[in-house]
Every structure is written in structure tokens, then in C-alpha cells.
Chain A
Amino acid sequence: MAVAPPTEKSLRLATLLSRVALGDQAAFGEFYEKTSSHLYGVALRILRDPSAAEEILQEAYVNVWHHAGSYEAAKSQPLTWLTTIVRNRCLDQLRRRELDTVTLTNDDDDDAPAYDPPSDAPSPATMLMAGAEARSVRDCVDTLDAGPKQAIALAFYHGLSHSELALQLREPLGTVKSWVRRGLEKLKTCLDRAGYARAE
């Protein structure tokens, strides 16, 4: 699989990880210091609950300490590797939470932990462009129409499900689903053409 060339920061993180694998506590401290606010941002935006987000991070770093040696530099960059793990754990928990909510048909949602992003927080669409810019995938994101772009951004950064997307964007469920599907297909075609990632 094609991986973008490592940045200076990635190289530093990979070096730190290899030292963590040898039990170097200072390296672990520095690794935490360089990665935790990025990962916490990812987790908090999805889970909207500080203590749940902290718990996911806690597990992630405990795993880093114990399994730093299993990180494969050839397959992905350190922060990408860890971000994927954290995002997946958050999404697992979020989707499971919805499953429980449906079972209990709890319509009194007042107890749900609320996360109000600060008013100066960038919109999902802005984050999508910023993320794209960071690795020159901007052209591909730019090919998306406004609707699919918005839907993909909300799903990616805030973990919205199809029905939540429909609610948020005030569109029928079917429309939102096809936006997501078409958006993803278009992204894939464009990114693969740019040699970004290719199935093995």
C-alpha cells in the first residue's frame, strides 16, 4: 500500500516508539506530549463526553506502552496508526451506545453527556478542507458536491450515523445515504488515481 512520505514529526514519533518498545519512560512521556491533544480532539469530537474520551485514550496509551514493538513503520505512520485505533474504538463505543439506546427506547435524552464545541471551533467542512490540505488530497475533496461533502465531514469528525445525518442536514434518509455512498466512491476514484492508497 502506498504511504505518503514521512514528515519530520513522523520520523521523530517512530524513533520515540522504538525507544518506548525498550521501556524508555522519557520517550513515552514525549510521545504522549506530542500526540495526546490530537488524539483527544479526535475522540472528544466523536464521543462528546470528556471522561469517555479520556478512557479511550488511557487504553490506547497503555497499549502503546505494552505493544510499541508491534508498530510496523512500513505500513503506516505512527500518528495515523494510533488515530485509526482511537477512532475505531470511539466509533465502536458510539455505535454500541446507540444500540443500547434503541433497545431501551430512551426518548428522554437530557442525561446524555453533551459536548458543545467552543464557538470558535471550525465547522466539519472546514476541518475536511484543512485535513485535505495537510496531505494534498484537497483536489479530491474539492470534487465532492456540497451535500456529500457536508455529510462525509459530519460523519468523519463527529461520528454521525445515517439517521443523525438526515436529521442534521434536514434531508430524507435515502438522500443522505446515497450522498455518503457517492461521496466515498468519488473520493476513492480520485485518491487512487493520485496514487494515494491502493488495495494490495
Chain B
Amino acid sequence: MNLSRPDRPQRLDLLAAQYALGTLPARARMRLARMAQTDTVVAGALRSWEQRLSPLAEGGPPITPSPRLWKVIALRLGLEPVRAAAPALWWNRVAFWRGLALAGFVAAFALGITLLAPTPQVPEQAIVAVLVGQDAKPALIASIGRADRILTVKAVDAAVVPPDKALQLWMLPNGQPPRSLGVLPRGAVARITLPNVPEIAFANVPALAVSLEAAGGSTTGAPQGPVLYSGKLERMY
């Protein structure tokens, strides 16, 4: 395909339509977007089609994102901890609660409080990972104080593990295979001792994951079962 603007208006119109619909292949898509930056005719064609198709976007049902999304955004922008500031956030919204399994209700509420309000329950300089499953709902919360050695893993809405199985916690270091932090003891709260303080133990570790293994954990040193949950380590300091 020619790099210059498609000369026939029909051709440009079809490309713009497919761009807005989404079916344009990667290279053509990038090329058209680049052209639109300098060529107002191309930009106009894209805008017309985006505008035309935009009402269709309203047809898809909304899906509530994980609460950690707002937390991460607020953290990145350095917004003040949410107290009286935002009047209607998810934790007091009916739809959000309806979306959570009843079993996770109380724990999730506690999570909302500990993560978003500066209470003494979580040390101010904490490292937190919200582990979520495929459905993007929080299942486990791992947290540790900056100077601690004990990682606390709270079950919010984790799967029921059959007696012959176990959940195993893994660090996911950058560019290296997962490293086990051990099998999670059964119960609502598990405590795992780290080999070192988090700043060293998690130095190259952006995320944690949990896999489903045979009782006693993986025998190979690598996850053998499916990864059920994962989440980024967020440093709250």
C-alpha cells in the first residue's frame, strides 16, 4: 500500500471505517493513525467514522473494575487519601456490593478500609498486592510492612481448596522463573516468612501469583498447577 494519503476518497473512507470498527490490521492501522497526525483530511475521515459508530459503544454492559484500579490511579497521581473527598465511590455503592460474593463481603469491606484510609491496621509504609482471578475480583490480599519479614495473606474471596490440593504463593521476578514463597496454610489469614526484608526479597519482583497444586505444593520448584490469582506489588510509600 502507498504511504501517501489514499487518493481516492472512497478508499480513504473505507480505511477510516475499518479503523473505527477495529478490523484494520496492525500495520495499516498504525500508518493511518500516523497520517492523521499531519493530514487533516485523513484526521477528519477518522473522526467522522468514530463519531458515527460511537453510539454503538453504549450497547455493551458495564463491568465494574477491581477496586485496586482507583487505588493505583490515585497513587500515581499523588491524590490525597480518599476520606470525605469523593462522595460516591465503589465501596458504598450497591452495584459493587452486589457483585461481590457474600462470603467475601466482610473481608472486602475491611480491605476497602485498610487500603484506602490511613488506619493503624496496615503500617504506613506497606507493600500490598491484591491478587485477582480471571474475573478481576480480589481473591487474596498480601501485605507487609516495609521493615517486616512476615507477609500476611488474607483471603477475601478465594476458591475453596479440596483436601488433596493446596494454594502455593509465588514471586514473579523480572526475566526469571517464578520463585516459591511456600504453600499457603488453610484459613482466612496466612502468614509467610520472607527470606529477607521486602526491599531485598522483592527487589526485582513486580508481582505475586498463586497456583493450585497438589497438597504439599509443587515438587519441581516451578508451578505445576494452574495459576489462579495474580497481582502487582504496590509500594505504598
Closest to B45 in A: A199
Once the chains are docked, how many angstroms separate the CA of A160 from the CA of B66?
25
For chain A, the count of residues having a C-beta within 8 Å of the partner chain is 82
With a cutoff of 8 Å between Cβ atoms, the chain B residues found around residue A94 in the complex are 22
Q: How far is the CB of B93 from chain A (nearest CB, A)?
A: 7
Within 8 A of B (CB), among A1-48: 1, 3-4, 25-26, 28-30, 32-33, 36-38, 40-42, 44-46
- Against B, the Cβ 8 Å flags (1 = close, 0 = not) of A49-78 are 011011001100110010000000001100
Q: Which residue of A lies closest to B53 (CB)?
A: A156
A187 contact from B52, B54, B89, Cβ within 8 A: B52
**Does B58 reach chain A (CB closer than 8 Å)?**
yes
A residues in contact with B73, CB < 8 Å: 32, 58, 61-62, 65
B66 close to A54 (CB less than 8 A): yes
Q: Which residues of A contact B26 (CB under 8 A)?
A: 95-96, 98-99
Q: Flag whether B200 is at the interface (Cβ < 8 A).
A: no
Tell me, yes or no, whether A121 is within 8 Å of chain B by CB: yes
In the assembled complex, B62 has its CB within 8 A of some CB on chain A: yes
Given contacts A1-B47, A38-B62, A57 and B69 within 8 Å (CB-CB): yes
Contacts of B64 in A (CB 8 A): 36-37, 40
A87 near B136 (CB under 8 angstroms)?
Answer: no
Find out whether the CB atom of A95 lies under 8 angstroms from the CB atom of B45. Answer: no
- CA distance in complex: A162, B77 (Å): 39
Is B86 in the interface zone, CB < 8 Å from A? Answer: yes
A197 located at the interface, meaning its Cβ lies under 8 Å from any Cβ of chain B in the complex: yes
A3 contacts across to B, CB distance below 8 A = 51
- A184–B14 CA distance with the chains assembled, in angstroms: 8
B56 contact set on A, CB distance < 8 A: 127-128, 131-132, 137, 141, 156
Tell me, in angstroms, the Cα distance from A193 to B200 when the chains sit together.
65
Q: CB within 8 A of A161: which of B25, B48, B136, B230?
A: B25
Smallest CB separation, A18 vs chain B (Å): 17
Which B residues are CB-close (under 8 A) to A38? Answer: 62
Nearest first, the 7 closest Cβ-Cβ pairs linking A and B are A131-B59, A29-B86, A135-B55, A37-B62, A50-B136, A127-B59, A130-B59
User: What are 19 pairs between A and B in contact, CB < 8 Å?
Assistant: A29-B82, A32-B70, A33-B86, A36-B70, A37-B62, A44-B63, A50-B132, A51-B232, A58-B72, A83-B57, A91-B29, A92-B33, A95-B24, A98-B26, A129-B59, A131-B59, A156-B21, A157-B59, A157-B60
